[in-house]
Structure 1
Amino acid sequence: MNRVCEVLGIEKPIIQGPMAWISTAPLVAAASIAGGLGVLGVAFAPEPFIREQVAATKELTDKPFGMNVDMYVGDLEMTTRIIKDLRPPVIYADTYINLCEKKDLAMKYFKNWHDLGCKVVVKASTVADAITAEEAGADAIMLKGWEGGGHVSYEATTVLVPQAADAVSVPVIASGGIADGRGAAAAIALGAEGVEMGTIFMAATDAPVHPNVKQAVLDCGDMDTVITGMCTGEPCRQIKNKLSDELLKIEAENVRAVSGPKVQEISMSSLRKAMAEGDMENGAVMAGQIAALITEQKTVAEIIDGVIAEAKEVLAKISGFEF
């Protein structure tokens, strides 16, 4: 049996990435019902909203699902209280970089969550962080390359995944730059046992997001995303627009000490402006480079089943490739 499926109790090794303002109960339940793992994007949300979303997801499905927890920002004690009360099956530990410097924190909370009966999946951005995650007790590790949307690091998925697969013994999941069966097959060839996708689910018919966002993803070309926020230490990939132009201008014209606070101030609530209000100029649509391959809306189930079917076809063809 596929180890990702075995560890997480799911049927198909596809994880729906957590995205703020998008990965709420309807999308998450749809992904889990389709056989993958839906993940709530609630890491920065207030406690009542997190509780509401976990409860709502349980109402919609009895399949395993996850909720993301930020390992650097927020009240981990508060989050653990919610986990204790509501017992989401999987905790998705969202990290950016340098988890290796916070090993004690990871060991403490991973143990707490395991003791509450939860599985722990860790998103890592470096090989060192992947090793730390395994040492702290992670059940599976997500390696996200800089091709992905939202928070990114500095290495490509194709570089991170094989290194991590060689360095850890727990299942590795590839993330960043995957939106079809070809990407999934490539990830498997690199050593991954499952894949995470985010951007493609933004355009899903099931996604509870403003229609303007879905259209922006469908219209996105191969050079239409940009990374902003390098000066903050938390760079993000998003679709180019008025907001991204303004952020990049600030970064180019100011030293980091000045540009960082300015970028953070202007970025505040930019996700809500796009995802909830449909403002495509002043809001942030955090799509990955793979958006250019997304040309039509499909249901979550069609996305998951289509990726798996195509991956099987690609892998079958590869087995007959001659050098």
Structure 2
Amino acid sequence: MGIDFRPPVAVRVPPTDPPLRVAVVGAGGWGEQHARVFADRTDTVLCAVVGRDPGRTRARATAYGTTAYTDLAAMLSAEQPDLVTVSLPNEEHFAPTLQLLRHGVPLLVEKPLVFDLQEADTLLAEAERRGVFFAIDLNHRYAEPVVRAKALLDAGELGDVVFATWRFGGEPNFGTSPHANLVETQVHGFDLIEHLCGPVVSVMAQTYDGARPGVFTTIAVALELASGAVGTFLGTYDSSYAYPDSQRIEINGTSGRLVVEDTVRRLVVSRPGDEVSQVWQAGYFDDEARSFHTTFDRHVDAVLRALRAGDEPPVHARAGRRALELALAVARSAEQGVRVPTPPG
């Protein structure tokens, strides 16, 4: 079938530059992945962990052999980091991110960027004005099945895309916003649909709040793509990550179909009229490719290369702003019962 399923070759070159000093803002669950990555690398030094809770921050810093701070300005003054990463509760990103941008330090922030478009625009304008490196962690792009899917699509192996499907969801992560599922979880879906298939130009949505009235825990969306393709999108807090296929991407083209199962588990490529499919899944010793957490390690590799080269981030914070724009358009569509245009730019 002409598809090369050999693994991409990764060449590790010993670092010749001094290690970059990296500070992590956030001592919560995913913040530990940030601490782990930068403490383990040979080309970075984890110089600080900043948190709000003194005990938890001190414990995290001790576990990774670094210094704990509860004051962001004090950390910046004392440590002079080369890069700061932000992994805070989803609805509390704006103020510390703005403070860091005004300090002029390069940033890698967790998704979602923020919950408000005006705040997103303020952050992006500040970064532009100061020339700050401003990356966002949309790490699903770096899952091996997604990387391979992107290569197949870019090479035209599926022909013209006809339809795309996204499904993702499990246990809830409630905040104060009624649209937490849309903004903090489904950000990955909005980003990946556009990353793989091109711009979404309109949305029509239906939402469900039966489990928690006033909180929209499941959303179903009909997508219109700029290419003329159509899409379906289902995001939920009313399911479980223990279920098989809790995350699924299906892209059907005129020359074939691909399916990504559970982000990192499997990629299946099929051809019209052919009952034999090609499958990629991680081999026995390939623990790295089957781990969801190491999608972040892969993104960090790309971030550090770009930062050292003076290039734009591989996933700029603008992508977080775009995902938020699509999420809020979905919310508006559901509230008003109308199709909402979402032209890019």
Q: Tell me, yes or no, whether TM beats 0.5.
A: no
- Output the TM-score relative to the length of structure 2: 0.36
Higher share of residues assigned helix: 1
Which protein shows a greater Rg?
2
